[in-house]
Each structure stands twice: as structure tokens, then as C-alpha cells.
Amino acid sequence: MLTILIATPFLSALAALLPVSRDFRLKLFLAVSVIYSLITALFWKDLPASEYNGFLVLDSLGLILLSIISFLFLSVAIFMIGYFQHEQRSNRTLSACVLFLLSTMTLVAVSYHFGLLWVAIEATTLFSAPLISFHRNQQSLQATWRYLLICSVGIALSLMGTFLLAIAAHDVHTLLLPALLKGAPLLSVNWLKLSIIFFIVGYGCKMGLAPTHSWKPEAYGQSTGMVGVLMAGVLPQCSFLALLRISQICNKTGLTGFYSSILIVSGLLSFVVPAIFILGEKNIKRAFAYSSIEHMGFLVLGLGLGGVGLFGALFHMINNALAKVIMFLTAGSIAQKYGSSRTDDIRGVIHIYPVTGIFMIAALLAGTGVFPFATFHSELLILNASIISQHYFLAAVGIICLAVMFIGIGKIVLGVIHGQPKEPLLAKKENVIMNAAIAVAVVLLISIGLWMPSPLEHLLHHAVTLIGAV
């Protein structure tokens, strides 16, 4: 079953590379996403059996990521149909790479071997790079280059971390997760510490945590809205899954304190840095990229704090993904209508496109964590965890930075939805399909904000016990 889930998008990607019509590619992508989502929905009832001698296993953590992947790709597949009604460019590279990305991300979610996990995460980097330069111009090529180079180096460091883990696990003779957890007392602690540092720097670079975040505003700012969703919503969370897997080992070997202190520091940095840069920002997508850095900060902070914070972090994985759908798809739809995503060029969205204008406000509220959007709850849980564990300074900084982010993004969003447009616009009508894709995410994010369904709560609790934090 897992093999099918990985192979189907891969084969479809190969088919999308063939000289077929644009419509066929869009339909193929939609069909694959629908089938993929149905299979994932089945996994909520029964987890599939492990495959290839335990190399591919789906557990609760993987299922969270898999559900996020399936929802996001489905949204993008629907949105893409609307988007390409107004777009003349070929979608060959775009749809092939998106499908390759789907395949490799699935591999990330189900791989239980640290080497395989690395191979899969590196592959997601490679297949997402061509997506950034969809509008092939100087800026987007530079953004692609910066993304490719910074992330490749980051990922190379985590390869080093993987090998250091192999040295630490010299007496276990394998890098399979269950064997490592079972043989935890045999691991050499010093080598493990070294490998943890490399892992956090490497996978943190891919997540866009603060000191290594510089590729994020460039890459998200230059890519189209659909690509932005995938790059901000799932790609960093794939690396976060790797950090979760490492925390499983740390909790078994008594290195929880060491691991969480590093995570808390990088989480704190990821709060402060975007708050500094957001206020001068003049591009919607770049502003949303800074918001994404902050959300990643929340994830690692929650993981570092453990307990309620860990539950919050896992919940935030889902909320962050849904919020990113609203933010980047709306930004993409506006960018297509105005031919730019700079705030100077966009005025009066709510007067000309009322529905998109409302979505823009929803994006502001969802992205900054305002009730009733579920991001509010998960952010509150994580801040709560920092108060429970008596990190009062951390909570104070977090709240101040959240306020600054709200002001920064609010200024941009309110600026673009009011006022009068300068030039006559490209498309006068709203696109129903594009709006439908966004509306589903808005409704979903509000409803899990108001009421958490019991299967979801059960899954999150099970995932927390799987990590085994004390």
C-alpha cells in the first residue's frame, strides 16, 4: 500500500513530462491527488503494514504529515485548474515537479531509516527548486540559486549528522528507528551529541529556522502562490518530522535536556528575527515568508518544551499547513490578478474582488493566530507550555513578537485591500474554482479551532506518546 502511494505520483510525474496537453496534466494531477487523499483517509481507520523489512512504516507522526500532504496537494490541484485558465505558460515542469515532490514527500513521511529519510528530504529540496523559477526572470533565478545552495549545504550537514549517528550506533549496526530505540543504552552519547548538533543545523536550515532563514523570503517571494503553499506548508514540516524522529532517540537516551535547550534557543531566534524584518516589508509573499519563519519557531519551541508544548507543536503542524493554504493561495490569486505582489502595485482588493478581499483578511487572522482560527489554540498551547515550565522571558518575547507580526502583516494586508487601483486590471472576474480551494481551508481551520474532532485528538495524543517525552 505504501509503495503504491509513493509510486503512483512518481509514475504520473513521468507521464506529465511527456508531450501531452496542459489540460491533461492538470486532470492527471487532480486525479492523483484525489486517489492519494482517499488512500490516506483509509489509513485513519487502519495503519498499513510495514514494507521492505521495516524501512517503510507509517506511524501516527507519519500519518499527521501524510494527511497534511494529501490535503495541501488536493487544494493546490483544484486551485491550479483555476489558475491555468488565465495563464498561457506551459505547465510541464511545474506539474512534473509537483508530482515528484508529492512522491518524495510521501517517502519522508513513511521512512523509518535515517539514511532513507535523508535521501527523501534531499530529493524534496531538488524537486522543489525548479518550481521557484516558474516565472523565469533574473530575480526568481537568483532566488532558486540561493535556495538550492543554502539548502543543499544544510542537507549535506545533516548527511554528516546521519553518519555521525551511524558511528554512535556502532554497536546497534543499523539506523532503523525501532532498533535504535531498542538499543538506546548501547549508543555512544558523545557521538550522538555531535550528530544532534549537525541534525539541528542541517534540517533546521531546511525548515528555515532563524540564523539560516535567508533563502525563505527570496524563494517564497518569487514563487507562485501554489508553489508557495507547498514550500511553506509541507516542505519545512518534512524536516520537522526528522527532528521529531531524533527527539524520539534523545528521549530514550536521556539527552532530552541537551536537545531541547538547542531547540528553544533556535525557536527564540526565529521569533525575533522575522519581527525585526517584517515592519519594512513591501511584498505580500515575502511578508508571509517571515510569518512562516515565525511558525517554524513555534514548532521547534513546542518540541523543545515538551508536554503540552509538544501536543501544541503537533497540532500546530496541521494548523500551520492550513493557514499557509489560505495565505499563499490568496496571495497567488491576487498576484495573478494584479500582475505583481508588491504592495505599491495592489490597491482596493475588497472593492474589486470582494471574496478575495475577505480571504485576504482571513489570511491575516489565520497567519497571526487570531481566534476562532485554530492557529490561535496551538500557539496558545505552546506559549502556555513555556509559562508552565517557568520560561517567563520566552513567553514574554513570544507575545511581543506575535504582536509585532500582527502589526506588520496587518499593515500590508489592510493597505492592499483598501484604496483605488492605479491601472486597469487583467481579469475582472473572480475565479470560482480558485476561491473554492481557499474557502475549504478557511472553513476547516475555523472548525478545528472551534471543536476538535475526537479522531484527531486521539491521533495527536498517540503521536505524543510515541515521542515519549517526559
Partner 1 sequence: MTSWVDVICIIVVFLSLVILSNSRVTAMIRVFALQSFVLGLLPFFLHISGMSGRVVMISLVTIILKAGLVPYILFWAIRHVSMRTEIKPILGFGTSIILGAIVIAGAFWVSLSLKLPGKPVSDLILPCSLSTVLLGFMIMVTRTRAVTQVLGYLILENGIFLFAISLFDEMPALIEMGVLLDIFVAVFIMAIVVNHINEEFEKNTVSVGRSKMGETF
Write out the three cell numbers for 218. 527570496
Q: Which of 129, 201, 301, 448 binds partner 1 (CB under 8 A)?
A: 129
Report whether 365 contacts 373 (CB < 8 A).
yes
What does the per-residue mask of binding to partner 1 show for 59-98, with x meaning CB under 8 A? ----------------------------------------
> Rounded distance, CA 69 to CA 63, Å?
10
CA distances from 82 to 71, 127, 295, 329, 435 (A): 17, 23, 28, 11, 9
**Min. distance of Cβ 221 from partner 1 in angstroms?**
16
> Rounded distance, CA 32 to CA 346, Å?
35
- In 3D space, the residue among 152, 153, 149, 95 whose CA is nearest the CA of residue 123 turns out to be 152
What does the per-residue mask of binding to partner 1 show for 334-373, with x meaning CB under 8 A? ----------------------------------------
Write out the three cell numbers for 373. 482560527
**DSSP per-residue string spanning 361-421:** HHHHHHHHT-TTSHHHHHHHHHHHHHHHTT-HHHHHHHHHHHHHHHHHHHHHHHHHHSS--
What does the per-residue mask of binding to partner 1 show for 231-250, with x meaning CB under 8 A? --------------------
**Min. distance of Cβ 68 from partner 1 in angstroms?**
23
> Helix crossing, 374-388 with 308-338: angle to 10°?
140
- Tell me the chain's radius of gyration from C-alpha atoms: 21
224 sits in the region (left: phi over 0; alpha: psi -120 to 50; else beta) called beta
Q: Which is nearer to partner 1, 54 or 348 (CB)?
A: 54
43 sits in the region (left: phi over 0; alpha: psi -120 to 50; else beta) called alpha
Binding residues for partner 1, rule CB under 8 A, total: 39
**Min. distance of Cβ 167 from partner 1 in angstroms?**
6
Write out the three cell numbers for 440. 475549504
**Min. distance of Cβ 350 from partner 1 in angstroms?**
37
Q: Which is nearer to partner 1, 180 or 437 (CB)?
A: 180
**Min. distance of Cβ 100 from partner 1 in angstroms?**
10
The region of 25-33, 171-179, 437-445, 453-461 touching partner 1 under the rule CB under 8 A is 171-179
Core vs surface per residue 229-268: b (16+ CB within 10 A) or e: bbbbbbbbbbbbbbbbbbbbbbbbbebbebbbebbbbbbb
Prior bond of 455 cis (ω within 30°): no
CA distances from 367 to 73, 92, 257, 372, 379 (A): 19, 31, 31, 12, 11
Q: Which of residues 130-169 bind partner 1 (CB under 8 A)?
A: 130, 133, 136-138, 141-142, 144-146, 148-149, 152-153, 156, 159-160, 163, 166-167, 169
- In 3D space, the residue among 309, 228, 302 whose CA is nearest the CA of residue 267 turns out to be 302
What does the per-residue mask of binding to partner 1 show for 94-113, with x meaning CB under 8 A? -------------------x
Q: List phi, psi (to 5°) of 113.
A: -115, 135
Q: Which is nearer to partner 1, 172 or 323 (CB)?
A: 172
**Min. distance of Cβ 145 from partner 1 in angstroms?**
5
Where do we find the cell 505552546? 382
Q: Which is nearer to partner 1, 152 or 256 (CB)?
A: 152
**Residue 119 within binding range of partner 1, rule CB under 8 A:** yes
Q: Which is nearer to partner 1, 131 or 278 (CB)?
A: 131
What does the per-residue mask of binding to partner 1 show for 177-216, with x meaning CB under 8 A? -----------x--x--x----------------------
**Residue 175 within binding range of partner 1, rule CB under 8 A:** yes
Q: Which of 89, 135, 173, 282 binds partner 1 (CB under 8 A)?
A: 173
Q: Which is nearer to partner 1, 125 or 333 (CB)?
A: 125
Q: Which of 50, 92, 174, 265 binds partner 1 (CB under 8 A)?
A: 174
**Residue 10 within binding range of partner 1, rule CB under 8 A:** no
Q: Which of 8, 61, 80, 122 binds partner 1 (CB under 8 A)?
A: 122
> Rounded distance, CA 326 to CA 229, Å?
8
Q: Which is nearer to partner 1, 21 or 53 (CB)?
A: 53
Report whether 26 contacts 87 (CB < 8 A).
no
Q: Which is nearer to partner 1, 156 or 397 (CB)?
A: 156
* Interaction site with partner 1 (CB under 8 A): 113, 115-116, 118-119, 122-123, 125-126, 129-130, 133, 136-138, 141-142, 144-146, 148-149, 152-153, 156, 159-160, 163, 166-167, 169-171, 173-175, 188, 191, 194
